[in-house]
Amino acid sequence: MDKKRNFWERLTGSVRMEEEPEELRRDIMRGHKGNGKDQKSGNHWIEEENEEAELAVDIYHTPTDMIIQTMVAGVKPEDLEIAIARDMVTIRGTREESRTVEEDNYFSKELYWGKFSRTISLPHEIEPEDVEATEKHGLLTIRIKKVDKEKKNNVKVRSL
């Protein structure tokens, strides 16, 4: 059934969504995640708690290096794993929550705690052995040397 759009919908170009079940609305307002299984109700997804979050990254390059930066505030260096191949980098880690606060005492809970990862396909071939990873004030910077395809090496032949 096609409903007439109200003034606000016409003004903003928005569309009216189907009403959510009352129980889901209450859970969302309380910040509950439901039963921990993927569920779909209307346009709302309730994420499984054991999933890994995807890490946000910035990637740029210089003439000689590929640089990857990401925020890992609150993560100990020993809880980070960086795997590097010729054309791909994977960053994994865990952000542990050290507080013990009852769920009912939260007004808002937006910080992510738990496992995270990101696999990045790089536009340039890199040297997996020539890598420097540093962390300062929660910003992880990974600097990887690009493969120099213009580099040439002259080899002298020895007589035996």
Q: Is residue 117 part of a domain?
A: yes
- Cβ atoms 24, 14 nearer than 8 A: no
Residue 159 lies in a domain: no
Do the beta carbons of residue 32 and residue 23 sit within 8 Å?
Answer: no
pLDDT digits (tens, 9 = 90+) for 25-80: 555 555 555 444 444 444 444 444 557 888 899 999 999 999 999 999 888 888 89
Q: Specify whether 78 is located in the same domain as 140.
A: yes
Query: What is the domain range of residue 30?
Result: 7-46
Encode pLDDT of 64-79 as tens digits: 999 999 999 888 888 8
Say whether pTM exceeds 0.85.
no
Q: In this structure, are residues 56 and 70 in contact, taking their beta carbons and an 8 Å threshold?
A: yes
CB atoms within 10 A of CB 131: 16
Q: Are 91 and 117 in contact (CB under 8 A)?
A: yes
What's the CA dihedral at 59, 65, 69, 74 to 10 degrees? 160
Looking at residue 160, its amino acid is L
| Tally of structural domains, the chain | 2
- C-alpha separations of 141 from 58, 66, 72, 91, 137 in Å: 10, 10, 10, 11, 11
**Strand 44-46 versus strand 88-95 pairing type:** unpaired
Same domain, yes or no, for 122 and 80? yes
Helix (H/G/I), strand (E/B), else coil: 84: strand
pLDDT computed for residue 101 by the predictor:
84
70 and 136 part of one domain: yes
Residue type, 148: D
Dihedral over alpha carbons 7, 10, 12, 17 (to 10 degrees):
90
